C-alpha cells in the first residue's frame, strides 16, 4: 500500500475523531438511527406501485448481485488484489439492511431489498473495475511498491 493511501486513511480517521468529539458519539448514532429508516422508507415508496412479483425480482437480483460480488472478490484475491475488506464491509451492510438469511424467505421488505440491490450492484461494478484495471498479472499489487 502506498503512502498516499495510508495518509488518507489517517486523515479520515482524524476527521472522524474530530466529528465524534465535537458532535458526540450519541448524537452521531442518533442521526444514523433517524437517517437509515427514512432512507428505507423512501426506497419502499418507489416499490409501492409494483406487484409482489416485481418485489420478489428485486430481492432475487439483490441476492444474485451479492453472490456475483463475492465471486469477484475471490477472483481479485487470487490475483493479489485487495478485496477481503470490501467483502466483509458489503456483507455486514447487506445483513444490516435485510436481516439474517433466515428472515429472507418471509420478509418482503421492498425498500430494504432495493437498497441491497443498489449496494450489491455498485460493489460488483467497483470490483469489476478493480479486476479490469489489473493488467500486470498475478501477484501484482499496484503501480508502486513503496
Domain count within the chain: 1
pLDDT computed for residue 146 by the predictor? 42
Q: Which residues contact 86 (CB under 8 A, 6 or more apart)?
A: 73, 123, 126, 127
Please check whether residue 114 lies inside any domain of the structure: yes
Report d(CA 91, CA 89) in Å as an integer: 5
Please check whether residue 14 lies inside any domain of the structure: no
Please check whether residue 106 lies inside any domain of the structure: yes
pLDDT computed for residue 138 by the predictor? 54
Please check whether residue 8 lies inside any domain of the structure: no
Domain limits for position 78: 33-133
The proportion of the chain whose per-residue pLDDT surpasses 90, expressed as a percent, equals 19
SS3 per-residue string spanning the chain: CCHHHHHHHHHHHHHHHHHHHHHCHHHHHHHHHHHHHHHHHHHHHHHCCCCHHHHHHHHHHHHHHHHHHHHHHHHHHHCCCCCHHHHHHHHHHHHHHHCCHHHCCCCCCHHHHHHHHHHHHHHHHHHHHHHHHCCCCCCCCCCCCC
Query: pLDDT tens across 42-67, in order?
Result: 766 766 666 777 777 888 888 899 99
Question: Is the pLDDT score of 19 beyond 60?
Answer: yes
Please check whether residue 4 lies inside any domain of the structure: no
Please check whether residue 96 lies inside any domain of the structure: yes
Angle between helices 84-98 and 110-133 (to 10 degrees): 170
Please check whether residue 122 lies inside any domain of the structure: yes
pLDDT computed for residue 145 by the predictor? 47
Question: Is the pLDDT score of 85 beyond 80?
Answer: yes
Please check whether residue 88 lies inside any domain of the structure: yes
Amino acid at each position: 500500500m502506498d503512502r498516499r493511501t495510508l495518509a488518507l486513511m489517517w486523515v479520515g480517521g482524524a476527521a472522524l475523531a474530530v466529528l465524534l468529539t465535537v458532535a458526540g458519539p450519541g448524537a452521531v448514532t442518533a442521526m444514523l438511527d433517524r437517517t437509515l429508516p427514512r432512507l428505507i422508507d423512501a426506497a419502499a415508496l418507489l416499490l409501492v406501485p409494483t406487484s409482489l412479483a416485481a418485489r420478489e425480482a428485486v430481492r432475487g437480483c439483490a441476492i444474485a448481485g451479492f453472490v456475483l460480488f463475492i465471486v469477484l472478490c475471490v477472483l481479485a484475491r487470487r490475483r493479489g488484489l485487495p478485496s477481503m475488506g470490501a467483502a466483509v464491509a458489503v456483507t455486514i451492510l447487506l445483513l444490516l439492511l435485510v436481516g439474517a438469511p433466515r428472515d429472507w424467505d418471509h420478509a418482503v421488505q421492498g425498500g430494504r431489498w432495493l437498497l441491497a440491490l443498489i449496494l450489491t450492484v455498485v460493489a460488483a461494478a467497483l470490483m469489476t473495475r478493480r479486476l479490469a484495471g489489473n493488467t500486470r498479472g498475478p501477484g501484482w499489487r499496484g503501480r508502486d511498491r513503496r
